[in-house]
Structure 1
Amino acid sequence: MITETYQSQPPATSRLVHRVAVGTSFFLQGLCFSSWAARIPTVQQRLHLTDTELGGVLLAVPVGLLLSLPLSGWLVARYGSRRLTVLGLSIYATVLTLLGLAETTTQLMAGLVFFGLAANMSNISVNTQAVGVEALYSKSIMASFHGIWSLAGFIGAAIGTLMIGYGAPILVHFALITAAVALGILLMRPYLLPTDAGHDPNQPVFVLPDKSLLLLGILAFCSLLGEGTMFDWSGVYFNKVVHASTAWAGVGFTAFMSTMAAGRFVADWFTDRFGRQRTLQLSGLFTAAGLMLAVLLPSLVPATIGFMLVGVGVSSVVPLVYGAAGRSTVMSPGMALAAVSTVGFAGFLLGPPLIGFVAGATNLRVSFAIIALMGLCVTALASRARV
């Protein structure tokens, strides 16, 4: 049992210190990604990319994820999530600055491949740390970690808006974020969990997930498809479909991030009260309803409310799915999270290119309507998942 692995740890002070360190790791990861997401419209304008071309460029990120798929879970199982958290976040932040140097589409795509690789590595390692910290408590706390990630996304978006407003070059913006992440890594590294639950250095590289883990991965995929869409296309949607003024172009993303972060900080309480399956079912309905509201009534107030509903909808799904994967009896937590999060994170990264391709063939409203169907899939699959 995971809990038994940590019985030797001091009960109160130690677990709080570990929780703060792991929470910091989630914050740094979210800050890296949201900083990039906030400047995507700027990159599109600087390189003169159409929506379809932007979709093709963003496809480079899931390529990096797929390249890291066979190794990330094994590296965590082999060397421990502590080392991989530090390494993954370091690479993630370094590549962020390199993206600011890209002057051609080819250079940008090459950087995004490594950005996706580092994203997957850090994602699996920090969630493995979270599973271990949650085992020190007698209640669910996974959602709060993801809430910190969302809070970092909100702050990263706010910083990005500020940088754009002052005309700061992308390179300067990204270099400042990289420096902040480096400082955060130095501060939190000594307090990460030194040993993972179920640590097995002889874990094989390739382990097929069972049906229960595969279903969890599909649930995460459907939800993260919508989440990735919100990160990369909310600003473009408000610009081109809602026709918001420059001052209001970022309000959709801000509304989404606000409710997603707030939802994750109350998700543990809500889940304990109403149950995991019901929470997942409601989450899917909120996502679908919010996206369709923005599609059917593409004006400032309804679209903003719709994006707020989407934030509520996606807030609980990934924490519930990752928590269930971490309790798997089939694999070690690191390998189980690798299997589930890789499938799920593929949705997060494939969503933005999909939006670009569909928008190029039709329009953005059709693209967002298709993503709304993924919310209904979450509701339909929730009753079959073992969470």
Structure 2
Amino acid sequence: MKVQIQQRIALSTYFFLSGFCFSTWASRIPNIKMTFDLNEAELGNLLMVMPISSLVGLPVSGWLVSRFESRYPLIVSFILLAASLAIIGLADNLVFLILGIFCFAFSMRIFNIAINTQSITLQKAFKRKIIGSFHGLWSTGGLLGVVISTLMVKLQVPIYKHLPAVAIFTLVLAFVAFSFLLKKDRSTQGNKLRLGKPDKPTMYLGFIVFLAAITEGGMFDWSGVYFKEVVKEDVFTLGYLIFMVFMALSRFFSDKIVEKIGMEKNYIISASLVCLGVLLMIVFPYFWPAIIGFCLVGIGVAAVIPMTFLLAGTSKKYSPGMAISIISTYAIVGMLLGPPLVGYLAHIFNLKISFILFFTSALMLIPISQLFFKQKKENIQE
């Protein structure tokens, strides 16, 4: 059991570092917007590079994980991810910036499939569920990343020093943890991502994570801009910080809450909290209402993706690894499409109105989640 605990700690380190790197990038987007003098639509175009790159990496990620032990694409993709973060920070023209963002999203696509493959395999060695804790640590890493970014902004540390420093720091920890990762988990089944129409329950789960990821991705990339331009707060990372704090806290307690009220009710409550939080932000775009709104959105959206991954692992048609891979595709596309959609809506209307996208996405979670549970009950009866 000692070996499994070491593997869990090592894998947890990678989840933490991934969240740390992603939030570092996301919290500095307002600086990038200002440095390159981009309007909302131009920033939306720039962010659109990410879903395009992710789709390019889609077939590559499945092939790598099925061909090699998952720890090898995991470490290689993390090296590329850290290097890309440094390139984004050092970029002094749009060509290098676009290159950095493209590589960042491409490596993140491969990394996510590899790390989920590790977590699904490692779960089998434990009697109690541990996947939720991995997502909680991703959020915790994201939280630390935005805290440090807030400090860097406050101290006026330039982005070309901040991002490369984070890249070097995370790489050192990644290399230390690598030797303790799960070994010899190569499989030709369950880890390969295949394109095609899934069965109805899996498709519903895919739509659920897609809608949740639109909100998560949009909040990651636009919360800082919202606080800067709508709330008029100088320390613009504060909104993102509050969102990450309450999302992280919610993820660590979500397993116990689900056990008490059940997943079906939890989807409704989660979606309702997001809707209420977004309405507060839009209707009352002032400091305290916005802070409360960000808290509610963080609490509401936190449990949706981990809970849906857990349901995917119970699929009767697909192995857990295959089901996770399928719905991970929906999640990544949603997380990467959300930010540019907000940018386009903000350019057409304004940034405050564009946040209605999150309200709509959360609202749709309710009927789709109910369709899933209805379909599940029908399958049991059959």
Task: Calculate the TM-score normalised by the size of structure 2.
Answer: 0.92
Contact map agreement 1:284 1:375 (CA 8 A) in 2: yes
Q: 1:54 corresponds to which letter in structure 2?
A: L
* 1:233 maps onto 2:222 in alignment: yes
In structure 1, how many angstroms separate the alpha carbons of the residues matched to 2:119 and 2:194? Answer: 23
Q: How do residues 6-25 of structure 1 correspond to structure 2 at under 5 angstroms? A: 12-25=1-14
For structure 1, the residue ranges without an aligned partner over 5 or more in a row are 1-11
In structure 1, how many angstroms separate the alpha carbons of the residues matched to 2:193 and 2:8? Answer: 29
* 1:78 maps onto 2:67 in alignment: yes
Q: CA deviation at 1:202?
A: 10
Q: 2:69 corresponds to which letter in structure 1?
A: G
Count of aligned positions: 373
Q: How do residues 141-152 of structure 1 correspond to structure 2 at under 5 angstroms? A: 141-152=130-141
Q: Among 353, 365, 370, which residue is 1:378 paired with? A: 365
* 1:353 maps onto 2:340 in alignment: yes
* 1:206 maps onto 2:194 in alignment: yes
C-alpha distance 323-374 of structure 1, shift in aligned 2 (>3 A): same
Deviations 1:116-170 (Å, cap 9, x if unpaired)? 1111111111122122222222222222111101111111111112222222222
Q: 2:143 corresponds to which letter in structure 1?
A: F
In structure 2, how many angstroms separate the alpha carbons of the residues matched to 1:377 and 1:307? Answer: 19
Q: CA deviation at 1:201?
A: 6.6
Question: Bigger shift: 48-57 or 68-77?
Answer: 68-77
RMSD, aligned CA: 1.9
Q: 2:363 corresponds to which letter in structure 1?
A: L
What percentage of residue pairs aligned between the two structures are identical?
35
* 1:165 maps onto 2:154 in alignment: yes
In structure 2, how many angstroms separate the alpha carbons of the residues matched to 1:95 and 1:345? Answer: 18
Runs (4 or more) in structure 1 with deviation over 4 Å come to 201-205
C-alpha distance 115-145 of structure 1, shift in aligned 2 (>3 A): same
* 1:312 maps onto 2:299 in alignment: yes
Q: Among 281, 288, 291, which residue is 1:301 paired with? A: 288
* 1:369 maps onto 2:356 in alignment: yes
* 1:93 maps onto 2:82 in alignment: yes
* 1:221 maps onto 2:233 in alignment: no
Q: CA deviation at 1:189?
A: 1.1
Q: CA deviation at 1:327?
A: 4.0
Q: How do residues 263-342 of structure 1 correspond to structure 2 at under 5 angstroms? A: 263-342=250-329
Q: Secondary structure, in 3 states, of the residue corresponding to 1:191?
A: coil
Equivalent position of 1:344 in the other structure:
331
Equivalent position of 2:380 in the other structure:
none
Deviations 1:85-116 (Å, cap 9, x if unpaired)? 11221111111111122222232122211111
In structure 1, how many angstroms separate the alpha carbons of the residues matched to 2:31 and 2:193? Answer: 39
Q: 1:213 corresponds to which letter in structure 2?
A: T
For structure 2, the residue ranges without an aligned partner over 5 or more in a row are 377-382
C-alpha distance 195-292 of structure 1, shift in aligned 2 (>3 A): farther
Equivalent position of 1:179 in the other structure:
168
In structure 1, how many angstroms separate the alpha carbons of the residues matched to 2:190 and 2:138? Answer: 31
Q: 1:92 corresponds to which letter in structure 2?
A: L
Q: 1:324 corresponds to which letter in structure 2?
A: L
Q: CA deviation at 1:203?
A: 7.5
Task: Calculate the TM-score normalised by the size of structure 1.
Answer: 0.91
In structure 2, how many angstroms separate the alpha carbons of the residues matched to 1:123 and 1:270? Answer: 26
